[in-house]
Chain A
Amino acid sequence: MTKISLGKGINAGLRAAMENDPKVVVMGEDIGKLGGVFRVTEGLQKDFGEDRVIDTPLAESGIIGTAVGLALRGYRPVCEIQFDGFVFPAYDQIINQVAKMHYRSMGKLRMPVVIRIPFGGGIGAVEHHSESPETLFAHVAGLKVVACGDPVDAYWMIQQAIASDDPVVFFEPKRRYHEKAELDESVPPALPLHKAKVVREGTDATLFCYGPMVKTCLQAAEASLEDGRNLEVVDLRTISPLDLPTIFDSVKKTRRAVVVHEAPYSLGPGSEIAARVTEECFYHLEAPVLRVAGFDTPYPPSRMEEEYLPDLDRVLDGVDRVMEF
């Protein structure tokens, strides 16, 4: 058993996938010799060669577009987009080509492509380096969208995403890359890719979260104990498809829910969860489903990001509001 960071967990997961399947290729900008700007692919090119760890030209549509061709040829490309805000030059290829190829071909063609995107704020970066565009992908039929929230999940989820025959947009919480946890690689993964995880059992309300907000929500749950509240925390892990049974079970138990994400408030994942819970758990609810989220502004200059991002206080405020009903 070794202590491993989230970033190293993904690295180890990529390495395991590449060892298990020679068709897995990793591609992106700066991922070879440099090992990626976050060093997530460090050492892979040295061990697997330039044909499998492909340093690409600086062109995102090219990364995804050529990945489509490699997938059609039988490869399983894992593409790294350097930062969330840089994915948009490739958006056409992702939503019009990657997402629709299986449908368009009536099931004859598959796109086992993984698109890794470091996402979210909190690292003091400049514009386009701190965004949470997960809804824009979750709204697209044909894509699956996941976000890892801890190192052990990172290790297993990246391997599960690569093994998936459906295309997966894989969001990595960049400000949690250095968070560490014990990883025992010999213990099989506890959950499949598209299951949510109750990371903290509670009775009074449920905090739904994913990616960087998992840690924040766990801290909020600890802090709430002082107020005599016992919060459940559910790491969604998968945004498309949502693991609705786990969500509903938790709401039926705690009868109150707050969805927490960095993505903008309106029409974010929280909106869908609130709607689903209302449809399915209406008579179980003691309060409306509330959202604590980023604002409906562009991501601000980094000196303001502490105010923009949901933090402990804003999550606790959300809990207060949901408990007041």
Chain B
Amino acid sequence: MSESVPGIAPEVFAPVEAPVSPPQTSEEVEFVQLLTPEGERREHPEYSFDLDDEAIKGFYRDMTLVRRIDTEATALQRQGELGIWASLLGQEAAQIGSGRALNSKDMVFPTYREHGVAWCQGVDPLKLLGLFRGVDQGSWDPRDNNFHLYTIVIGAQTLHATGYAMGQQRDHAIGDAEQGEATIAYFGDGASSQGDVNEAFIYASVFNAPIVFFCQNNQWAISEPIDRQTRIPLFQRAAGFGFPGVRVDGNDVLATYAVTQQAMKRAREGSGPTLVEAYTYRMGAHTTSDDPTKYRLSEDLEHWKLKDPIERVRAYLTRTAEVGTDFFDEVDAEADTIAARLREGCLSLPDPSLTDFFDHVYVEQTAQLAEQQEQFAAYAASFEGEAH
């Protein structure tokens, strides 16, 4: 087969051996873990969690509240108040740990499931509902919270994040691990197959952009399992693009905090991008529209329930930090209050008016569109006063 070509050794034509082993599971690949599923602290040679137990209590509170927000939103969907909801159930540690590792000047580009990161950035949870209820397409101002609008097209935002980071670089906003700015882009394991994500890796790498790619590998892209996206652990892809990749226990809020903090510092000081793969599991459906019982085994779910991100922190706080039940009761009460506010707020979100939305197509509206807007307004007005 391999005919000799002058100047090129025959072995150049030898095929590269493809991996024949099935994709590795979490048990087979090392990841950074600082708190075990049983709630025991662990040490890691490169990463350490340097905050106190008060901070861990804060993480517990964050995770519990966002889980409750998520549960309430799922219930609202089931009752017909939301058209759809993308649940974060099981991914609370990945989102709170990474979200709390950000500085006030850092910029976040989420996909559509980052309700926990939105919480960390101070976005009112009620505002997350608008998109799913269908009254808007994201009503928060990204400039207020440094949290960009949700992006539905898979992976598209990783390029936006890279461009934004290139802007931070051009603004000379980097160079200091604490005072500098960086960007973090969230995406999932399914998105890792998209061209845009791979292009983002290339742009970030060749321009040495201050960005962290935070992949929540929740094992499922709707019904497609991780072995339909990759034959190697995702974090290892970073090496091929020329920057470091690290896999972290995505259900360990201490580890996701420590790993993200270090990657963000690296970006802010000007050392370039990092890929963080948070190894986690989507406990619910992709969205309220699919039925996971059709494509995955209930044993998997049971297996992952033992790794619950909140339970392990509670175990640590109870046993090691000797936090009393009063604290947990207070957090639960706060969750109740937030859930009630979310429910009430959702029901009272005002229905939008099509005539208003004409205004937002262009900064400088065209004459044709203005005419359509006027005609529609007049048409709509002709029905006013009619009995329904």
Interface residues of A, Cβ cutoff 8 Å to B: 25, 51-52, 56-57, 59, 61-62, 64-75, 77, 89, 92-93, 96-97, 102-110, 141-142, 144, 164-166, 194, 240-242, 244-245
- What chain A residues lie within 8 Å of B141 (beta carbons)? 105, 108
CA distance A192 to B141 in the complex (A): 31
Closest B residue by C-beta to A77? B163
Are A244's CB and B159's CB within 8 A? no
Chain A CB within 8 A of B196 CB: yes
- What chain B residues lie within 8 Å of A57 (beta carbons)? 199, 202-203, 206
Chain A CB within 8 A of B360 CB: yes
CA distance A164 to B143 in the complex (A): 21
Closest B residue by C-beta to A245? B367
- What chain B residues lie within 8 Å of A106 (beta carbons)? 136-137, 139, 357, 360
CB distance from A154 to the nearest CB of B (A): 21
CB distance from A101 to the nearest CB of B (A): 8
Fill in one digit per residue for B270-298: 1 if any A CB lies within 8 Å of its CB, else 0: 00000000000000000000000000000
CA distance A89 to B195 in the complex (A): 9
Query: Given contacts A62-B196, A109-B149, A142-B361, could you give 7 more A-B pairs where the C-beta distance is less than 8 Å?
Result: A69-B166, A73-B168, A75-B170, A96-B153, A102-B360, A106-B357, A165-B363
- Quick one: given A141-B361, A166-B363, are A70 and B195 in contact (CB under 8 Å)? no
Could you say which of B139, B162, B360 contacts A103, with CB atoms under 8 Å apart? Answer: B360
Are A61's CB and B199's CB within 8 A? yes
- What chain A residues lie within 8 Å of B199 (beta carbons)? 57, 59, 61-62, 65
Chain A CB within 8 A of B374 CB: no
CA distance A263 to B197 in the complex (A): 33
- What chain B residues lie within 8 Å of A56 (beta carbons)? 203
- What chain A residues lie within 8 Å of B357 (beta carbons)? 103, 106
- What chain B residues lie within 8 Å of A67 (beta carbons)? 163
Chain A CB within 8 A of B316 CB: no
Q: Which of B151, B156, B199, B361 has the most CB of A within 10 A?
A: B199
- What chain A residues lie within 8 Å of B109 (beta carbons)? 69
Are B138's CB and A104's CB within 8 A? yes
- What chain B residues lie within 8 Å of A244 (beta carbons)? 367-368
Chain A CB within 8 A of B343 CB: no
- What chain B residues lie within 8 Å of A142 (beta carbons)? 361-362
Question: Which B residues, 107 to 144, have Cβ-Cβ distances below 8 Å to chain A?
Answer: 109, 136-139, 141-143
